């Protein structure tokens, strides 16, 4: 009984399931994985605060409770959640409409936004609405990510040059950066470029070492040893050690509707990105990912971040990969990592006071350069030009109009293309591959296919409903008109039609009457049971006649040939 109760509750709190099967032999591996990811996450969290527009300490405030929440509620054994460049930039873009970065109002709104994202994700999961993320196609998502990488680069380059940063879209920021170049701070530029070279060098020749952590360590030592804190280089400055303030952020009802728009975009991006990371990790390690439970887990992780004065978090494939390479077995690695981050907050924060902001900028720049993949658009153009245009629209829309507008444009265009494809599906006239074969194929793709004089076999590759019912009738009439031989009967291959609505059913009755007036019969083959039921209820069967429904195309063809033979014999007798 107890085991059944644990299993039932474990569907919603997965830690109860995996913890009961935990082996002590995994403890060392999970600890080493937690330690390794800690060395990667600390500099990443510090760096991404520059994107989110919050103080460096907030990056670490974000981590512990979000890690613990996902460890309790997540279905992936190895997914690591934490600060993410994409969601951090979306967060900054949303909150910046109402407050100035680093102000108390800005910090409060950042946590409110994380709370709204958490509520949306938990709602998606509880209502089993994980499918909503499917409305962002992979090319649109990739176009958005490419644009995001470019925008993020532009927000961090001023830190490398030690010049003033301005708000605006990509082109406005680029113009401002070019005009500020004569005022470049030489020491800052050297520090930034040296850090960037170090990061690439570590990644190239010592890939197993925590490149960002070591680069930060070297930079802090350089500043302290050479007295660079007096050279005018911008530093993180004094960071107070201690735990984050805990409590729900005060809701901003005045800006709620606009915050919700940003929160919805972030929630969709967060869920899509995190789910892809979880699925990829599951392919490598085994295990099952429950999509709806993942939405709840991500929501709880963002709730944990929100109540600890943090910003939005997401699943990270790169950090999850680090955990797997380090031998991580379960979410116990995340629990160890959370403990290590808490120790960092309590005892190690003063060590980061001499950390140059240019180094944090270099960490972000390196990450964004790794994400950039302009060849993707070239490859996509060769495969599907429509999808490539959607990806480019998302990317360019983001650069020209801003992040939310970019993703909104991409999703809107995707929906328009989806509606077009749904209302104009693929259709074909079929022929038999050979006299001995029972296989029927598109006569355009298979010119050798044999057709039966007087019989047009028509395939419609979609559900038949109000949006494409008119297209079905028009396309079929066009094919009858363009047929090389007079058509006596149309046989619809209905195997690919999974459902029919009332509008489509009425269209079939009307189409039957129109064809009948031209002495053309209408028949259907391979009608599925749910479609058959709908046709009976709506009067299609009665109008067309039960004798014009066949189990297969072959049966329909044989019936037509038999009728032809009877007609010919009757003509001969006459």
Q: pLDDT tens for the chain, 574 residues: list them.
A: 455 555 556 667 898 888 888 888 899 999 999 998 999 899 999 999 989 999 999 999 999 999 999 999 999 988 999 999 889 989 998 999 888 887 889 999 999 999 999 999 999 999 888 777 666 778 888 888 888 889 889 989 999 999 988 878 889 889 999 999 999 999 999 999 999 999 999 989 998 888 999 999 999 999 999 988 888 898 988 888 899 999 988 877 788 888 998 999 899 888 988 888 888 888 877 778 898 999 999 999 999 999 999 999 999 878 888 888 888 889 999 999 999 999 999 999 988 999 999 999 999 999 888 888 889 999 999 999 989 998 999 899 889 888 778 878 888 888 888 899 899 999 999 999 887 778 899 999 999 999 999 999 999 999 999 999 999 999 999 999 999 889 999 999 999 999 999 999 999 999 999 999 999 999 999 999 999 999 999 999 999 999 999 999 999 999 999 988 876 666 655 5
Please indicate, yes or no, whether residues 431 and 407 belong to a single structural domain of this protein: no
Please indicate, yes or no, whether residues 448 and 403 belong to a single structural domain of this protein: no
Please indicate, yes or no, whether residues 193 and 241 belong to a single structural domain of this protein: yes
Residues 331, 77 contacting (CB under 8 angstroms): yes
Please indicate, yes or no, whether residues 513 and 487 belong to a single structural domain of this protein: yes
Q: Closest by alpha carbon to 84, among 247, 259, 277?
A: 277
Question: What is the pLDDT, as a whole number, of residue 8?
Answer: 56
Domain membership of residue 421 (yes or no) is no
User: The CATH number of the domain where 480 resides is what?
Assistant: 3.30.750.24
Please indicate, yes or no, whether residues 408 and 431 belong to a single structural domain of this protein: no
CA 388 to chain centre: 17
Three-state secondary structure call for residue 94: helix
Say if residue 436 is exposed, middle or buried (CB neighbours under 10 Å; 0-12, 13-18, 19+). exposed
Q: Which domain holds residue 336?
A: 2-415
Residue 549: which H helix or E strand, with range? strand 549-550
Please indicate, yes or no, whether residues 357 and 494 belong to a single structural domain of this protein: no
Please indicate, yes or no, whether residues 449 and 411 belong to a single structural domain of this protein: no
Domain membership of residue 12 (yes or no) is yes
CA 258 to chain centre: 22
Q: Closest by alpha carbon to 22, among 334, 330, 337?
A: 330
What letters, b where the CB count within 10 A reaches 16 and e where it falls short, cover 354-365? bbbbbbbbbbbb
Q: Closest by alpha carbon to 348, among 76, 1, 89, 45?
A: 45
Domain membership of residue 420 (yes or no) is no
Residues 346, 242 contacting (CB under 8 angstroms): yes
Question: What is the pLDDT, as a whole number, of residue 257?
Answer: 83
Round to whole Å and give the CA distance between 112 and 439.
Answer: 60
Please indicate, yes or no, whether residues 395 and 459 belong to a single structural domain of this protein: no
Q: Are strands 549-550 and 521-525 parallel, antiparallel or unpaired?
A: parallel
Please state the domain count of the chain.
Answer: 2
Backbone angles phi and psi of 521, in degrees to 5: -85, 150
The token duo for 291 is 């999509």
Round to whole Å and give the CA distance between 55 and 443.
Answer: 65
Round to whole Å and give the CA distance between 531 and 536.
Answer: 9
Backbone angles phi and psi of 450, in degrees to 5: -95, 130
Question: What is the pLDDT, as a whole number, of residue 565?
Answer: 81
Please indicate, yes or no, whether residues 464 and 342 belong to a single structural domain of this protein: no
Please indicate, yes or no, whether residues 439 and 382 belong to a single structural domain of this protein: no
Round to whole Å and give the CA distance between 395 and 141.
Answer: 9
Domain membership of residue 239 (yes or no) is yes
Backbone angles phi and psi of 317, in degrees to 5: -70, -40
Q: Closest by alpha carbon to 549, among 528, 567, 530?
A: 528
Round to whole Å and give the CA distance between 555 and 116.
Answer: 58
Q: Which of 393, 415, 437 is the last residue of a domain?
A: 415
Please indicate, yes or no, whether residues 61 and 138 belong to a single structural domain of this protein: yes
Residues 360, 60 contacting (CB under 8 angstroms): no
Please indicate, yes or no, whether residues 253 and 378 belong to a single structural domain of this protein: yes
């Amino acid at each position: 009984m107890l085991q059944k109760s644990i299993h039932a509750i474990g569907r919603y709190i997965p830690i109860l399931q995996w913890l009961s099967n935990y082996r002590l032999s995994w403890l060392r591996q999970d600890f080493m994985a937690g330690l390794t990811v800690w060395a990667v996450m600390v500099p990443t969290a510090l760096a991404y605060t520059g994107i989110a527009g919050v103080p460096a300490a907030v990056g670490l405030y974000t981590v512990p409770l979000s890690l613990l929440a996902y460890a309790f509620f997540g279905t992936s054994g190895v997914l690591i959640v934490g600060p993410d460049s994409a969601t951090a930039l979306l967060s900054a873009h949303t909150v910046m409409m109402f407050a100035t970065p680093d102000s108390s109002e800005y910090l409060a709104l950042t946590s409110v936004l994380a709370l709204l994202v958490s509520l949306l994700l938990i709602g998606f999961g509880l209502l089993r609405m994980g499918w909503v993320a499917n409305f962002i196609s992979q090319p649109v998502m990739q176009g958005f990510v490419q644009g995001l990488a470019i925008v993020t680069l532009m927000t961090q380059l001023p830190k490398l040059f030690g010049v003033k940063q301005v708000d605006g879209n990509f082109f406005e920021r680029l113009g401002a950066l070019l005009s500020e170049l004569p005022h470049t701070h030489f020491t800052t530029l050297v520090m930034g470029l040296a850090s960037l070279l170090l990061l690439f060098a570590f990644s190239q020749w010592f890939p197993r070492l925590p490149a960002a952590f070591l680069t930060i360590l070297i930079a802090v030592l350089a500043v302290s040893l050479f007295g660079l804190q007096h050279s005018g280089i911008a530093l993180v400055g004094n960071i107070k050690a201690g735990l984050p303030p805990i409590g729900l952020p005060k809701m901003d009802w005045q800006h709620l509707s606009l915050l919700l728009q940003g929160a919805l975009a972030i929630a969709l991006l967060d869920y899509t990105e995190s789910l892809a990371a979880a699925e990829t990790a599951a392919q490598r390690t085994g295990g099952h990912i429950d999509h709806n439970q993942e939405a709840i887990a991500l929501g709880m992780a963002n709730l944990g971040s929100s109540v600890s004065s943090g910003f939005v978090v997401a699943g990270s494939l790169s950090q999850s990969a680090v955990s797997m390479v380090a031998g991580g077995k379960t979410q116990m690695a995340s629990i160890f990592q959370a403990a290590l981050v808490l120790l960092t907050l309590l005892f190690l924060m003063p060590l980061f006071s001499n950390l140059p902001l240019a180094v944090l900028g270099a960490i972000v720049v390196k990450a964004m350069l790794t994400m950039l993949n302009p060849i993707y658009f070239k490859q996509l153009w060769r495969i599907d030009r429509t999808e490539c245009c959607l990806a480019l629209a998302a990317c360019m829309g983001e650069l020209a109009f801003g992040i939310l507008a970019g993703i909104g444009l991409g999703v809107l265009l995707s929906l328009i293309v989806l509606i077009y494809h749904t209302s104009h599906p693929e259709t074909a006239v079929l022929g038999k591959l050979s006299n001995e074969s029972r296989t029927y194929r598109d006569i355009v793709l298979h010119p050798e296919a044999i057709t039966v004089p007087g019989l047009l076999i028509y395939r419609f590759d979609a559900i038949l409903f109000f949006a494409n019912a008119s297209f079905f009738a028009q396309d079929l009439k066009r094919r009858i008109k363009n047929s090389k031989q007079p058509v006596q009967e149309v046989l619809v291959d209905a195997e690919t039609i999974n459902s029919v609505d009332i509008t489509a059913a009425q269209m079939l009755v009307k189409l039957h009457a129109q064809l009948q007036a031209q002495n053309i019969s209408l028949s259907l083959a391979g009608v599925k049971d749910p479609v058959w039921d709908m046709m009976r209820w709506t009067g299609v069967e009665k109008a067309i006649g039960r004798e014009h429904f066949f189990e297969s195309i072959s049966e329909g063809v044989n019936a037509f040939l038999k009728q032809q033979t009877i007609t010919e014999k009757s003509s001969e007798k006459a």
